[in-house]
Amino acid sequence: MNSVVAVRELSIEGDSSKKVRVEICQPQLSPDGIYRCEFRIEGAPEGMTNINVGGVDSYQALCLAIRSIANVVDDYNKKYCHSKLQWMGETDLELHFSTKLE
């Protein structure tokens, strides 16, 4: 896994001892000419999830990784946590970003 550049730690409502940790790594140019951005999600019942997302440049790889994280965590939250994952006491986990700031 490459250098971790961002981390988000989520908790489960009613059980602050259980954590779900999301780590994003710095995008790297792979030998095949595609930029790859790895991310890892720890704390899932089925074990750690480690996913590698590719893009035409490092920015696209990072953006696609962030979008993928939002989808993976949302599925995990619904399947295993009954939609009780929280970040800073809120159920809006803010794992994605909108297309423009308002």
Q: What is the pLDDT of residues 53-63, one digit of tens each?
A: 999 999 999 99
Q: What confidence category does residue 97 fall into, taking pLDDT thresholds of 50, 70 and 90?
A: low
Rounded Cα gap, residues 93 and 15, in angstroms? 16
Q: What pLDDT is stored for residue 79 in this prediction? A: 82
Rounded Cα gap, residues 47 and 64, in angstroms? 22
Where in the chain are the domains? 4-86
Three-state DSSP at 10 gives strand
The percentage of the chain sitting over the pLDDT mark of 70, rounded to a whole number, equals 88
Would the pLDDT of 39 be above 80? yes
- Distances in whole angstroms, Cα of residue 17 to Cα of each of 20, 58, 99, 101, 102: 10, 35, 34, 34, 35
